[in-house]
Structure 1
Amino acid sequence: MKLHFPIEQLRSQIQKMGAAERPYKLNVALTDPLPDFIEIINRGGGAEIELKDVETMGGLLSSNGAQIVLYIPDQGQNIDQVLESGLDGKKVHVADCQTLEQMRQRNRFQRYRAVVNTSGDFEVFGHSKKTFSSVEGSARLRVCINCLKHLNYQGYVSTPARKGEILSNFDLKNFFAHYSSLFRYLPKSFIEDKGGYAENWKEVSAQFRESKNFVCESCNVDLKQAKALLHTHHIDGNKRHNDTANLQALCADCHRKQPLHDHMYIKRRDMATIQQFRKAQYIIGSTTSWDNLFELVDSAFEGLLRLYQKQGSAKPEIGYEVTGASGAVVAESEIAWPTAKFAVVSNPDDKRSLESMAWKAITLEEALREFRDRK
């Protein structure tokens, strides 16, 4: 949607005020920072992105502020088996793992296709041994194990007994939701369907949240000053089952972590706001237990937090804010050890601010890579 600013009306009002015109010029050329990219994201399913535009964000694959995946469409002579069962195909990459690094070193990275895809179905081709001809089709490919290891996704490394369960239950929509706070844009196909509610749902939700004094029934954060971040959750997942016994007031973070809400996402600024309230209300702090830290941390950092626990690190604080001499907050960290002046941040600006105050700060991506490279 394009916004039209009434510049001529503004100029007319300035002239009426008697202000003199001053010459000006732009020092940089203005270009669209996301040419056609929003359209690509909204197409979802398998919209392709040029490999030159592939970046990383928190160890994840990204492009222009959106999460993407990589896969190899050419399945060679295995195409028949792949079309029958995607488990036999070349793997889908969701993180900048060791496999991708090896492919770059061997000059084979160009074999990949970068796409926005939350469906799990990928367009593939190859040479059939059955028909001795080229074959194309769609296959549900499996995620790369090295990617799960790199991210410690859902504790893939730290809880090895669950590896099989995590791999077999992997779903791209769940995965995108898990890391949604790191990205500026999400495909429309990912955003939770707003339909299906009763006609009076807004009134029902407002009255129920007010009856709970706008306090989350899971983490107990008081959101009277940010009421939009408190949701009304249907316990059984039925959006029309509005009996009070089936409703629960949950903050946006606790709501997205419910079993029936794996596809719900949360914006980074909303997550930061919730963490600020939790900290101010002493819900998170130096005395918070490990189990509660895992429940309250931004899920994008959960895998890293579990790696720190596994290596025997002291219990950190989450959502920790660092203040300057004036008492104003100068930097925010997702995970921090204040006494050691060490923090993990998502924003490079926060990293620079902390380093200027004699802290050691690393990004999520740097922290994950440190753990991976120790092996």
Structure 2
Amino acid sequence: MNLPDYLRCVEIKELLLKMGIHSIPDLKPVVFEREVSSTKTVEIQNPQLAFAEKLKLEAVALDQVDVAIGKDGIIEVNGIKACAYIKKQKQGVNRYNKTSTYRYHLCKCQTIEGMIASGRKDRYVSTTRSDGTFPVIDQSVYPACEIEVTLELCKNCKILLESKGMMPKPYSLKVFFDRFQPEIPSKIRKTEQVIVKEPYAPNHREIADRYKEQANFICQICGVDGSSKRFCIHLHHKDGDGNNNNNSNLSVLCTDCHSKQPHHPHMLKNPTFVMQIQEIKILRREQGIPQLG
């Protein structure tokens, strides 16, 4: 014959609490935080540095970069002053002298204006290589092959540069870039959105929900599991002050145990609470928690 475990009996647990033999352990404090979006300014490595090095070493297609004309009229590629020229050359390449009749451009001359207006950027490449030698593809032979040749500055670009006082004498691309290429900062400041956690003042419902979740919706006195009837689990303020939400002043109780706390007999006059108490008694029977009444 299996006898009931009266140490689990609701009334005995209540008696032990009143005698001070048992006590309800304090709930752990709950931190109320929420995620908010915040703007943050950070320093990052300037991506222009890597691109500037790439421009020195190779020719980059104009249709793959951001091409603009600076305030001084000089061609800029991703914000870097650069020259532009046609890489695939159908004629004019002298393979023996390594020269070409094609020209490179630095300014918004008539040729570059025409290129922009006609949307033919795909024919041009850009570079900041400063030795005056340019890789081109000679299409006058079959099969076409790449060769490095010397190109001269476009005559119209030369006239424009002289008019702006930007034609150093003696002229070379190296002197031009050394003099007129702005220094690229190694770091730049970037604004980005970050998600941070910040504390906030919760309302009573949030406080009750979080502490009941912490207790797994189990009454701290009788031990009934109210997770299937969560409305029957309450947050009790021991000192009767509903604004005192210190964790040591709180306990998670079922409706029945809550109604038996000091100064709470009014709960038995509320039909909603009476119904919840009946639900709790059913749960106790289902969970094998003995009751004398």
TM-score interval, smaller chain: 0.3 to 0.5
The structure with the greater share of residues assigned to helix is 1
Greater relative CO, 1 or 2 (CA 8 Å, sep 6+): 2
The structure with the greater share of residues assigned to strand is 2
Normalised to the residue count of structure 1, the TM-score between the two structures is: 0.34
Normalised to the residue count of structure 2, the TM-score between the two structures is: 0.42
Rg (Cα) greater in structure: 2
